[in-house]
Chain A
Amino acid sequence: MQERDGHDPVEARVRTRITRESLDEPGLFGDLGAGSDGAVLIFQGRVRDMDEGRTVTGLAYEAYDEMADEELRAICREAADRFAVGAISAAHRVGELEPGEVSVSIGVAAPHRAACYEASRFVIEEIKARLPVWKHERYADGDAVWVGAPEGLAARAEARPEAGEDSAKDEG
Chain B
Amino acid sequence: MSERLRVRTLFFGVYGEMANGREGMTELPGGSTVGDLVATLRDTRGFDWLPERVVVAVNRRYAETGTPLSEGDEVALIPPVAGG
Q: Which residues of A contact B (CB under 8 A)?
A: 45, 61-64, 66-68, 70, 92, 103-104, 124, 127-136, 146-150, 153-154, 156-157, 160, 162-163, 166
Contacts and interface: CB of A to CB of B under 8 A. Distances in A.
Q: Looking at chain B, what size class is its interface with the partner chain?
A: 20 to 34
Contacts, number: 89
Interface of B: 10, 12-14, 16-18, 49, 51, 57, 60-62, 76, 78-84
A149 B61 CA distance: 21
Contact of B80 (A68, A70, A103, A150): A150
A92 B82 CA distance: 12
A156 B57 CA distance: 24
If over half of A's interface residues share one DSSP class (helix, strand or loop), that class is named, otherwise mixed; here it is mixed
B82 A147 contact: yes
What 5 pairs between A and B have smallest CB-CB spacing? Answer: A133-B83, A134-B13, A149-B14, A146-B14, A67-B60
A148 B79 CA distance: 8
Given A64-B60, A130-B81, A150-B51, 4 more contacts: A66-B60, A67-B61, A135-B82, A163-B17
A95 to B, nearest CB: 13
A146 B49 contact: no
Contacts of A127: 83-84
A166 B31 CA distance: 37
A36 to B, nearest CB: 30
Contact of B79 (A131, A149, A163): A149
A74 to B, nearest CB: 9
Given A64-B76, A134-B13, A146-B13, A156 B49 contact: yes
B49 A129 contact: no
Contacts of B49: 153, 156
